[in-house]
Structure 1
Amino acid sequence: MIIVTGGAGFIGSNLVHELNRRGRTDVIVVDNLTRGEKALNLADCVIADYYDKDDFITLIEADEGLGPVEAVFHLGACSATTEWDGRYMMRNNFEYSRALFHWCQDRRIPFIYASSAAVYGGNSVFTEHPEHERPLNVYGYSKLAFDQYLRRYLDDLSAQVVGLRYFNVYGPREQHKGGMASVVHHFSRQLRESGQVRLFEGSDGYADGEQRRDFVDVSDCVRLKLWLLDHPEVSGIYNCGTGRARTFNAMAHAVIDWFGHGEIEYIPFPEHLKGRYQSYTQADLSQLRAAGCDLAFNDIETGVRNYLDAVADSPAIMPS
């Protein structure tokens, strides 16, 4: 049995879908379906069981077993970088992770969890070392807090534990994320509505639309997770990105090229994001490569084309 928390979410549902494609249907999904539209992400998947996230953590804290578990992929979290309720964020992103980590260690179950590149904040160096970690919001801090907690145990683990620091992930099954969805999602919607995509004007020394991010295809994130499952000797905290920063202009042009039409409009940089915005990110993959992972990551031209081809064939996961 494989457990996927956040299994109805963006990365989680793509993982469940890929597990199914590989013949695995013995999957327990854990999520919060208060927003019922997330269920559409699983409509074409087969799962063995489902638990609400609150019911699941109650089982974990009661130290109850769930039968033979091969691995836990922990993706459930509050991912809203604009959420400033620290108590809520720490309960969801730190305390839940801590409880599940110890439950897995007690049972010698591999635990592969979602960290975030948000831990780096405004730094220009993105290596998995404490001196480069300075988050700009409470979401980033909640992820860093658990990474720091885990580091205390890395030299004495009973089973594999891996934290993946996701950079800017895009791909199918993110339509429920609203404002937190990728720029590909937003650009696609904007093009259909107005024939234009909107980018921020220059900021932090960057020209209009020239802010740079490491945009990573969700399918590559899933492939990396399953590579880790196949390599239980690998533990630690690793970046999950392409290793190449690309501009928002380049991403906009990739979307425009797929649609075959469109223009770019530059809008004023929002006041509320000043000082709280990552204008540049680029994953350093040195530690991941040193761990033996040689997976190649899609460039944005390939990833965007695959994404938009996929959602065009599946209206339920079309950006809206």
Structure 2
Amino acid sequence: MIIVTGGAGFIGANIVKTLNEQGRSDIIVVDDLSDGKKFYNLADCDIADYLDKEDFLQRVQLDDGLLDNVEVIFHEGACSETTEWNGKYMMENNYEYSKILLHACLEKRIPYLYASSAAVYGGSAVFKEERSFEQPLNVYGYSKWQFDQYVRQLRSSAPALFQSQVVGFRYFNVYGPREQHKGSMASVAFHFNNQIQANGFCKLFAGCDGYADGEQRRDFVFVGDVVKVNLWFWANPDKSGIFNLGTGQCQSFNDVADAVIAWHGEQGSNARKEYMPFPDHLKGAYQSFTEADISALRSVGYDHSFADVKTGVYAYMNWLDQH
């Protein structure tokens, strides 16, 4: 049996779908379907069971046998709203919940692959898995960072507990299928596509902080590659640690917009870009550049290539067109 928390969410649902394609349907999805529209992400997936996140946590704490035959837990469930400032809620969902699952997995020697975030770097100019470069700027980033710290400290103080795999993935700017429920938190590729469909043009920020119009840069990583990395680690249970998960190559927002526009152009559209003034409230508080240092990921043997923006965006636009 496989458990995917956040399994109706963006990355979780893509893990479930890929597992299906590999012949696995003995999957328990754990999520919170208060937003019932998330079920769309699972409508074409086959699973063995669904559990609400609170019911699941209660059963884990009761140790009622639910985890006795589990091969791996992909822990993707979290509050991922970077604009959420309720720290109590954030820490309960992203920190305490993750700690309880960690200890259950260590006790039962279940591989535990969990979602961290590039938000742990916050205002840093260097994106490397080292304490000196980690400075979260919001409570979401803090909740992810504090759990990474907990794992590190526990591994250091009680290494004998770690008889099974524990891996944290610091996701950069992930985009691709099954993110439509994320609303304002969905990727720029998703929003650019919607804007072009509605208005014939997409809107980008004008230049700021030394960057030209639309030239702010991020490490955009296709969700298909994120799933491949997760499954590779599961297939290599001797590899543990905290790893950046990006392409290692930043690209501009212009690159994303140009790829979306080019795809629409092949469908006969005359879409274009427009630049809007950079918002005053974001000046001095905006990440204009992110780029994952993936040397740690490469050092443990992950040698697969990552899709560039054009390749990933085209795959995404084709999926959106079919769905």
TM range (shorter): over 0.9
How big is the shift at 1:61?
A: 2.1
Deviation at 1:204, TM superposition (A): 2.3
Q: CA deviation at 1:122?
A: 1.7
* Residue type at the aligned position of 1:43: A
Divergent runs of 4+, >6 A: none
**Structure 1 residue 273 displacement after superposition:** 2.9
The 2-side partners of 1:267 and 1:142 are apart by: 33
| In 2: Cα distance, 1:257 partner to 1:127 partner | 33
The corresponding residue for 2:97 is 96
SS in 2 for 1:152: helix
Structure 1: distance between partners of 2:26 and 2:12? 15
SS at match of 1:61: helix
Distance 1:268 1:60 in 2: 50
Would you say the 8 A contact 1:137–1:276 is kept in 2?
Answer: no
- Superposition TM-score, scaled by structure 2 size: 0.95
* Counterpart for residue 20 of structure 2: 20
Aligned-pair distance for 1:154?
3.0
Aligned equivalents of 1:95 and 1:173: distance in 2?
27
C-alpha distance in 2 between matches for 1:263 and 1:172: 23
Q: Does 1:264 align with 2:264?
A: no
Alpha-carbon distance, 1:269 to partner? 2.1
Q: Among residues 221, 238, 243, which one is paired with 1:233 in the alignment?
A: 238
What is the DSSP-based 3-state SS (H/G/I as helix, E as strand, rest coil) of the residue aligned with 1:169? strand
Structure 2 match to 1:278: 287
1:236-271 deviation per Cα after TM superposition (whole angstroms, max 9, x unaligned): 000000000000011100000000031111112233
Unaligned runs of 5+ in 2: none
How much has 1:93 moved relative to structure 2? Answer: 0.6
Partner in structure 2 of residue 111 of structure 1: 112
1:95 is aligned with what amino acid? E
The one-letter amino acid paired with 1:89 is: M
> Contact conserved, 1:5 with 1:75, CA < 8 A, in 2?
yes
Question: 1:163 aligned to 2:200?
Answer: no
The amino acid that maps onto 1:161 is: V
> Over residues 103-159 of structure 1, what are the superposed CA-to-partner deviations in whole Å (9 max), with x where a residue is unaligned?
100100000000000111121111000000011111111100000000013352121
Residue 171 of structure 1, CA deviation: 0.2
Where does the alignment leave 5 or more consecutive residues of structure 1 unmatched? Answer: 315-320
Partner of 2:35: 35
1:200, 1:267 within 8 Å by CA — same for their partners in 2?
A: yes
Distance 1:29 1:48 in 2: 8
Determine the C-alpha separation between the residues in 2 that align with 1:277 and 1:4: 32
In 2, are the aligned partners of 1:136 and 1:277 still within 8 Å (CA)?
no
**Aligned to 2:187, which of 182, 187, 194?**
182
SS at match of 1:279: coil
- Is the partner of 2:115 in helix, strand or coil? strand
1:251 is aligned, of 245, 256, 259, to: 256
> C-alpha separation between the residues in 2 aligned to 1:46 and 1:163?
26
- Partner residue, 2:227: 222
Partner of 2:60: 60
Instruction: Write the distance in 2 (CA, Å) between the matches of 1:65 and 1:82.
Output: 37
Alpha-carbon deviation of 1:279? 1.0
Could you tell me how far apart the structure 2 residues matched to 1:304 and 1:206 are? Answer: 23
Paired amino acid for 1:290: S
| Percent of pairs with identical residues | 59
Query: Do residues 196 (structure 1) and 177 (structure 2) align?
Result: no
Q: 1:276 to 1:85 in 2, by over 3 A?
A: farther
Cα displacement (A) at 1:206: 1.1
Shift of 1:274: 3.3
Distance of aligned partners of 1:275 and 1:54 in 2 relative to their CA distance in 1, 3 Å threshold: farther
1:210 alignment partner, SS class = coil
Q: Distance in 2 between matches of 1:205 and 1:87?
A: 37
3-state SS of 1:147 partner? helix
Instruction: Identify the residue that residue 46 of structure 2 maps to in structure 1.
Output: 46
Give the direction of change, closer, same or farther, for the CA distance of 1:72–1:99 in structure 2 (3 Å limit): same
AA in 2 matched with 1:310: W
Report the aligned-residue RMSD: 1.0
Equivalents in 2 of 1:63, 1:28: separation in Å?
Answer: 16
CA deviation map 1:168-205 (0-9, x unaligned)? 00000000000000001000000011111111112222
- Residue of structure 2 in register with 1:79 after alignment: 80
> CA 1:272–1:88 in 2, change beyond 3 Å: closer, same or farther?
farther
